[in-house]
Structure 1
């Protein structure tokens, strides 16, 4: 009997060496920051100087995260204080200048803080959607390597790279969801600019930093649609998983099928679960 207990204790200790295997090592109260962006001057729906689309908030909350806004036009010190109080960052889609905007300025501060934190074993994940994807490529390469593509309002299946289904992002997706992503037109694309495989392959910084998980084509150019960093918990999609369950605009490219909703949920669940490994608050009431 003693031997059985000892074996079980050793096995439990072994499992707890992995963050996802021991409940007491996880933070099931993740707080994810979503970066706001400038309203466009010619947008008749604009209210105020900046905004965060509600679909991103709902997307994260549906998977168990709490969300806080990260406002633009704040000091670096304010961003540093906020960084130390959240468990991850989402860079949303939009239509601002990803080289000169206040969105970019704030994203750069958080990107650099996240690099530093992860290098110090302080886990901090980042997710980029559409414009957020593009912003990450600029921050990593220090260049705008985007190229025009005919992908303004279209739903596409994903072309998985070899081994991508065993990647950090996709490895826990159910097989039926991966099959739907590969075979059905369920990823909503609303972008005019993309990172082509040609430009990615010719830039050493991007190749060293990011692993290509999926690609797409507009019929002329092959572009990257999903990627993850090799060393850091940074993930980016050029498509919009949050739109299928939470946006109801009448446009081509919008998909509300069961397959699209399931893919959106597993995408949200993945990133929120990344936040479980980030610990900022030692005492619950401090939150």
Structure 2
């Protein structure tokens, strides 16, 4: 089944569901919450956790789920290694997408990168047809957005930015553009003055690389950050054409990760400010009327079908407190 047929069928089912009082009887802007998909990824977290919880194909960190739910949406996991029909169908049912951070390799086949690429292009098609479908890419997800946008040509360079809380240096008008224009002044000031955006990455994307590859023609650089070793890198971007936002840092960790080896700032201003990124995603997701044909169909897919697993005492090599595993 092709993209257009899939969306048409999904829309028809939603209309039928509305007439029957099912889950789609109200738009996501009312008491019926939007549904956000979170992409899973192949098992590439720390060796101790990988050994102890072996036998699973993919995982999602629970902090992403909690962050989305805290902003008022339900969560559906999106599995890797599936058919294009699977991704087209689920994108016609969910209202927005998180492409999370992690350690998946872009040269792996049939995994996170391949699934993310398919989802990215489906989201492009949805938006080009006049629908409104947002994506939030975090850390590796931020890198994947720009990787796919650059026709899968490498845009990253090696860097050392582990466990670092950093401030944002907004580009000219960056704090008044895109996602940031909705942030209260006190939160923008905190992002610029306080070093609390949590960075945990070995790859960076520079402003010069985005200029050289012409990515700046289609993406607005909102901010840069500077690591402890004085390496400047792009820390937030937004598509000029689509409701796609990428952050190299992790907004979800401040409120939901507690590992003492992670330099997570748990101050009220850090938690409140970080929540705004997921608030943006959920509010943007309310602008489309994608839906599941019935409540029963929705509850077959929601994250509640899988129980999160505590990683302690094997989490000394990772910042994840809880993980969802998928076979």
**TM-score, length basis structure 2:** 0.77
- The 2-side partners of 1:215 and 1:139 are apart by 21
2:271 matches 1:269: no
2:140 equivalent among 103, 119, 131 = 131
Alpha-carbon spacing, 1:202–1:179, altered in 2? closer, same or farther (3 Å) = same
- More deviation in 42-51 or 240-249? 42-51
Deviation of residue 202 (structure 1)? Answer: 0.6
Alpha-carbon spacing, 1:148–1:115, altered in 2? closer, same or farther (3 Å) = same
1:209 equivalent among 198, 211, 218 = 218
Q: Match for residue 159 of structure 2?
A: 149
Q: Match for residue 98 of structure 2?
A: 90
Q: Contact between 1:133 and 1:236, CA under 8 Å: does it hold in 2? A: yes
- The 2-side partners of 1:257 and 1:41 are apart by 27
Superposed, which structure 2 residues align to 1:176-195 within 5 Å? 176-195=186-205
- The 1-side partners of 2:221 and 2:263 are apart by 23
Deviation of residue 25 (structure 1)? Answer: 7.4
Q: Match for residue 27 of structure 1?
A: 29
Q: How many residues align?
A: 263
- The 2-side partners of 1:267 and 1:280 are apart by 21
1:246 equivalent among 253, 256, 259 = 256
Alpha-carbon spacing, 1:26–1:34, altered in 2? closer, same or farther (3 Å) = closer
Q: Contact between 1:30 and 1:272, CA under 8 Å: does it hold in 2? A: yes
Which is bigger in relative contact order (C-alpha 8 A, separation at least 6)?
Answer: 2
- More deviation in 268-277 or 25-34? 25-34
2:240 matches 1:230: yes
- The 1-side partners of 2:42 and 2:27 are apart by 38
**3-state SS in 1 of match to 2:165:** strand
Where do 5+ consecutive residues of structure 2 fail to align? 1-25, 299-327
Q: CA RMSD in A?
A: 1.8
